[in-house]
Amino acid sequence: MDVERIIDELHLYEKKVLKALEKLEPPVSPDDIVKSQNMDIKAVMSAIGSLESKGLVSVHKSVDKLLKPTRTGREYATKGLPERRILQLLSKEGPLKVSDIMEKSGLDKTEAKVGIGWLMRKKWATIKDNILRITSEGEKSLERLGFDEILLQKLAEKGRIRVSSLSDELKEAFKLLNQRKGLLEVKKVKEHRISLTDKGRAILERGFEIREEATQLTHEDLKTGRWRKLYYRGYDIHAEYPIIFPGKMHPLKRIIEEIRDIFLKMGFTEARGPIIESAFWNFDCLFQPQDHAAREMQDTFYVKNPPETKLPSESLVDKVRTVHECGGLTGSEGWQYKWDVEIAKKSVLRTHTTCVSARFLLENKPPLKMFSVGRVFRRETITYKHLPEFHQVEGIVAAENVTFKNLLGILREFYRRLGFKVRFRPAYFPYTYLSTECEIYLPEKETWIELGGAGMFRPEVLEPLQVETPVAAFGLGIERLAMIRLGIEDIRMLYQSNLGWLRSLPVCHRGRS
């Protein structure tokens, strides 16, 4: 045990408490220390807690009850309990009818009933044919007070008494009085008894000086040089400290912000779009046929209010119609069916953020790089890996010389900055060709996991928008990426507000190396 170091780290109040324990006879209460050292009770309790954590004192905690008589209790201590007054009346006048008790005893109706009840309970009287008579036990009680009456008188005399200080008989009397309403006020009080440990005695044997300590330096201390004469207490860097839960960004939000930061640093422009979208922008403009399975109500949320949305210019609508029906000027045969504008007007909760890309291409001319992060909605059964609402990051790159190889390079760089190794495999999407799915490698599981799709927009998507340059596009899921980053197996954890889990997460995340 490094006694010198412990003494050097003791606070002034801790030293005073140790000195008090050295002088006072154990067991010692905090109030004893307050009187001995002329300290504030809060300072004493704080010092005791700190000394206990250092193993210099031991604290025995107990709970006691403090008794005080009520106004009625003090009155009964002087005049006697109702049963005592009825007993004395019976001794003086002999057997009485129950109906005469209230008139001759001076008790009100309630007190008379209570008194007769306790007479029976204490076996001081019997009642037969509505006549109350004293028993032999009652005769004996005329000559002496019961313990409950003695306790009531003591309380009236002293004002307050702790239950722990009572004899066994008076403790039983307290239980009896406590059964009666309105006679006692009972308050629980916590007691602390402090004693020195062997470690604490060793500190006192070594000895220390009690002197004022400097807790902070002022401008005046530094200016005058007074700081050289001040005494500075040592600090224990291994001391216990309270656990603090600082405010911090939600982990999913934090990952979204990290993704946003990556694309902004790669030169992308951020765009946003409405959550309630028309089927036109969500499906038709992306060359998705109107009889496609993804457009069924089993997969897409259709909105009742408003049931329809306003379509863009007739020119654009006609171009999309032509592309669907016969391919337009793209060289494609289209889908070879009659396109229905009423279906295109329907309101939906967007199923992807690719509709933001389509709107952006209509309003902005290449060259351009755009990304969008937002919520999307699909009719999914809630499970540990699926939700009907999730986030997606969407992006496009449009320029004269953009190729599929450029797209793969952009995605590889994006995942590299997130700390993942990525690979690509062929895939099919209605609005891109060539198309690919992105997979990242998880070393701890020795497996690859799919996180999104990408490809080159088809001519059938670009021609109605009057875009003549190649456009590379990608759409990546964020929740699954967050699950990998946070090491969770259930996607619902991201939305359940589990405080224990949220508090355990670090304030910041550096990502993978």
Strand 131-134 to strand 161-162: parallel, antiparallel, or no bridges (unpaired)?
A: unpaired
Whether 392 has a binding-site annotation, put simply, is yes
Structure tokens at 275: 């959550």
d(CA 225, CA 210): 23
Whether 457 has a binding-site annotation, put simply, is yes
The answer to whether the beta carbons of residues 16 and 57 sit under 8 Å apart is: no
Three-state DSSP class for residue 394: strand
In whole angstroms, what separates CA 472 from the centre of its chain? 44
Structure tokens at 400: 């004269």
The answer to whether the beta carbons of residues 37 and 177 sit under 8 Å apart is: no
- How far, in Å, are 24, 382, 388, 412 from residue 35 at the CA level? 11, 65, 67, 74
Whether 354 has a binding-site annotation, put simply, is yes
For 213-239, give the DSSP string: -B-S--HHHHHHTGGGG--B----TTS
d(CA 502, CA 259): 20
Strand 131-134 to strand 347-349: parallel, antiparallel, or no bridges (unpaired)?
A: unpaired
- How far, in Å, are 74, 184, 209, 251, 481 from residue 79 at the CA level? 9, 16, 60, 72, 81
Whether 431 has a binding-site annotation, put simply, is yes
The answer to whether the beta carbons of residues 349 and 275 sit under 8 Å apart is: yes
Strand order of the β-sheet with 131-134 is: 96-97, 131-134, 125-128
Q: Label residue 276 exposed, middle or buried (CB < 10 Å: 0-12, 13-18, 19+).
A: middle
Selection from 55, 62, 51 nearest residue 27 by Cα: 62
d(CA 344, CA 279): 5
For 246-311, give the DSSP string: -----HHHHHHHHHHHHHHHTTPEE----SEEEHHHHTGGGT--TT-GGGSTTTS-B-SSSSB---
In whole angstroms, what separates CA 147 from the centre of its chain? 52
Read off the amino acid at residue 258: E
Three-state DSSP class for residue 334: coil
d(CA 144, CA 150): 10
In whole angstroms, what separates CA 413 from the centre of its chain? 38
Residues across the chain: 513
Report the binding-site residues for L-phenylalanine. Answer: 354, 392-394, 431, 457
Report the binding-site residues. Answer: 354, 392-394, 431, 457
